[in-house]
Structure 1
């Protein structure tokens, strides 16, 4: 009974909030007004509160530009989490565009959709991402290429850093800044979350979205740590594969420290 009421309440908040902000976002998009970048952050922040995601940031978003954030990917909730702490746009796989509701929201948030299996489109897609970076937008890349169970960081795909390489050629100082970001789901109802409860947070690719969404709404009260590591400078002489491994290591370190309750240990 309580779980059902909670799901209904979250649904009501989602509907009212989205309907209230939708015309404003559409107008901002049509006019190219800077509000189109800030409005999604407000929406994400309020939806995090409604769902019960308690987000804590550690470190700071870099002020350097162009800036590419590279993060691990645990769940669809990562969009809400990162979107609540910074004005960002996301790189999403093309299938997301066609997802019911989530695809529509992703388009309103100005996500960049990429088709990783069609190499003939790679150039245009990389160009769009690099243009966003040069325009001063903070772009988020989930470099694992898929979601995980929340207990580990999977290998990063170095080819996904191609947008950084493309942006270097036209960047004002000839470099792009890549900032590692770790997302860790660490608590449930104020208690440390062990491996047993991690499926509430994690959304591996073989788990259907609907049942997982309902599970999250029933539980609520998830504590999430977002850890910003020091950015890595990327220029024309930088090895893309080495950079991918370095960024992956920093993201993994942040996740391990957060899951182990050692964020204050440095």
Structure 2
């Protein structure tokens, strides 16, 4: 009974938050003020609190611009959690635009939608991302191209790393910072998750969204690490495949650090 009441109250809180802030963000975007809007950051901070996440940030987002953040991807909740640390936008697959509710939220956060499986459009999509980078927007790339089980990092796809090079080649930027980010779900009710319980947080593509959301709401106490690694500043001629390998290695190392319980400093 208490669990059902909590879920109902959280859902009511989420609905109230959306009704209060989504129209404001929509208006700001329409009048051209959305670029400087911090509303998504505060929106997601409240959402994370309602869902019961406790966020531990290690390191910090670099102040260098243009900036491309490269992250692993475990769940739809990654977007909420990463959005709490700064004013960012996401590079998302095209299907997300059509998802109920989440598609609208992605549009309001000025996501760039890409078709990962259409290689003929890679250059065009990289150019679009490059324009946003040079305009000062911090873009997040989920380089695995899908969600993992949270216990490992999948191989990074290299195609969209070309956006960093395109920002230099096409827009005249001298350098672009590319920073690795690891998101790791570590504890459930204060107890280390381990492989058995990590599916509570992870969201493989074959799991329906609403049952997974209900599972998160039932638990209501999940610790998550967000780790920022050392950025790589690239210049003209940087090999995107080597850049992807470097980012993959660094994200994997940070994920293992959290899974093994090391470096629990908190900011």
TM-score normalized with structure 1 length: 0.95
Task: Using the TM superposition, name which of 194-203 and 117-126 deviates more.
Answer: 117-126
Question: Displacement, 1:119?
Answer: 3.5
| Two-structure CA RMSD over aligned residues (Å) | 1.5
- Alignment check: 8 A CA contact 2:184 2:255 kept: yes
Other-structure match for 2:215: 215
Native 8 Å contact 2:165 2:237 kept in 1: no
TM-score by length of 2: 0.95
Q: Indicate how the Cα distance of structure 1 residues 166 and 204 shifts in structure 2: closer, same or farther if over 3 A, else same.
A: same
Segments of structure 1 that go 5 or more residues without pairing to the other structure are none
Task: Identify the range of structure 1 (30-39 vs 83-92) with the bigger mean alpha-carbon deviation.
Answer: 30-39
Q: Is the 8 A contact 1:25 1:35 kept in 2?
A: no
In the alignment, the residues of structure 2 paired with residue 42 and residue 36 of structure 1 have an alpha-carbon distance, to the nearest angstrom, of: 13
* 1:39 matched residue in structure 2: 39
Q: Structure 1 runs of 4+ off > 4 angstroms? A: 170-173
1:153-201 deviation per Cα after TM superposition (whole angstroms, max 9, x unaligned): 0000111212112111245552111000000000111111111110001
- Kept after mapping to 2: 8 A contact 1:29/1:36: no
Q: CA deviation at 1:236?
A: 1.6
Counterpart CA distance in 2 for 1:62 and 1:232 is 10
Residue correspondence of structure 1 range 82-161 to structure 2 within 5 A: 82-161=82-161
Distance apart, 1:120 and its partner CA? 4.0
User: Counterparts of 2:37 and 2:238 in 1: how far apart (Å)?
Assistant: 30
Judged with a 3 Å threshold, the aligned counterparts in structure 2 of structure 1 residues 58 and 244 are, in CA distance, closer, same or farther, namely same
Contact 1:51 1:217 in 2 (8 A): yes
Quote the Cα distance in structure 2 between the aligned partners of 1:165 and 1:5: 51
Aligned residues: 265
Trace 1:5-44 onto structure 2 (pairs within 5 A).
5-33=5-33, 37-44=37-44
